[in-house]
Structure 1
């Protein structure tokens, strides 16, 4: 009847009043604000090993949405606030915050973890603050140096910069047949180099029969890699390596001796640098090679060094170059 009364010359000229009455099912803003305040009360930690820039933060691994809601219920009873249902709590958590309830897949820095735990418990002192600030400063410094070297390597043919890292042990046998697995299982090792200038990767592979995972094997691979780079690049004058600070593999006298030997062998090379990332923040481009290998290995029924590791090729935009190593003539 209202529409008919407001009709002139066949056209409705009244005011549409639909949707102006507040819904009785809407959660009041004051209650939603209390939920937001409760979510913000939980300590969050940034992911250290996310390769791409991300604003996602992570809650403690012992939390879950149900546990958070249970704590919210207790707080409402204590503060005598209106209790909202869990679906409202979940909606606000999922739509208004970029939070994750699981622990990041990448490893966390022990120094940062201890710092955040002490901060949450209110046990921080001046020494902890000073150590954390120095730790963060060193992290940013190493990242900045790598970025500068990367940009230089893209334009300067006489300069090569690479990151290298040893992958987790790869078992040769991928078969789920018990007898076959136990009789043919043999550990294989992969040291990956990633050239920051051209984005190409090189993998040095060997099994436990030909070597272990110590500094001698790492130094031998570095020596072979320098020889390979020098052979292909006639303009090479300076080469820089980035790695983590593992003392048993990278940061020791044997690796330094291998680099010194390569320096004396190649007269065209004027400088060989070995720079280290800050402890706990050694994420690097070489890790992307390991991720590609792990993904390919899931679809591989047989993994053997003699067949050339087919899962190492074709997984990146630029195919990986893999080398099977025997260290008898190098160690």
Structure 2
């Protein structure tokens, strides 16, 4: 005989569990070994059948898949079109069928690293602001931001039929003059070329070749995507531009801190997206 409270505490069990165990033992055979219960022997009532699960998988796989906006050498992950979401996919399914975050503990461990990261990001933003102010008063000084917009699907249709079609992907590299706010868009589709480092460098060649004749100092800001910006192709292109354009004395390429890459051309991309959604006619061709 032992104290019930001490017994429950020592085993870390509750009163109901012990009572059920005793009841099973008393109702079992003469051996004193409790009979096995029937829990977990039958599938849950809410579990979907294999046929329904297969239908759902086929429905998901029926949508076209695309590579990431940020290209990598090893491309394993595929993504759905940007205009799709779970709600739309479920609505389409119903019409055709019957049926990285960090914890507070982690942040505490990496508080110093986080503070250094935020300080570096703010320093880079401050440096860009100083460069912009200098460009506004000095015509021989230019500061640009450039970035590749997320792929634009063509034709741009709002019907559910278009969700199942392989659409043409159109690329748009946007450059933004931080002093004059002049915007230039370099557009091409996947039938013409890809969106790798050479393609980005080709657009920047056109941008540097059309700089005003009195520009002696040019600085370019971008994110750190290695497939497009942070690579030897773009670096060599800027080096060649310095040799080709004799009046240019300096070309700088600054990279924003990962996770803090908000640039002026992001506003231009937002404006394009807003206008595209408000367009009263269907966009059936890149020229539209």
Note if 1:169 corresponds to 2:148: no
Q: 2:108 aligns with which of 116, 124, 139?
A: 124
Deviation readout 1:223-282 (Å, 9 max, x if unpaired):
1111112xxx12110110000111111000011111111111100000000001111000
Report which stretch shifted further, 202-211 or 169-178: 169-178
Report the Cα offset of residue 303 of structure 1.
4.5
Pick closer, same or farther for the CA change 1:158–1:123 going to 2, 3 Å. Answer: closer
Note if 1:291 corresponds to 2:273: no
Report the Cα offset of residue 184 of structure 1.
7.9
Pick closer, same or farther for the CA change 1:180–1:123 going to 2, 3 Å. Answer: closer
Pick closer, same or farther for the CA change 1:181–1:304 going to 2, 3 Å. Answer: farther
| Coordinate RMSD, CA, aligned | 2.0
Q: Check whether the contact 1:172–1:184 (CA below 8 A) recurs between aligned residues.
A: no
TM-score normalised according to structure 2 size: 0.61
Q: 2:116 aligns with which of 124, 134, 141?
A: 134
Residue equivalent to 1:249: 228
TM-score normalised according to structure 1 size: 0.53
1:266-305 aligned at under 5 Å gives the runs: 266-300=245-279, 301-305=282-286
Work out the CA distance in 2 between the residues paired with 1:184 and 1:129: 45
Number of matched pairs:
187
Report the Cα offset of residue 175 of structure 1.
2.6
Deviation readout 1:207-228 (Å, 9 max, x if unpaired):
0011111111111111111111
Note if 1:223 corresponds to 2:205: yes
Larger Rg: 2
Residue equivalent to 1:19: none
Report the Cα offset of residue 133 of structure 1.
1.9
Deviant stretches of 4+, over 2 Å? 120-125, 175-185
Report the 3-state secondary structure (helix = DSSP H, G, I; strand = E; otherwise coil) of the residue aligned with 1:298: helix
Work out the CA distance in 2 between the residues paired with 1:286 and 1:143: 15
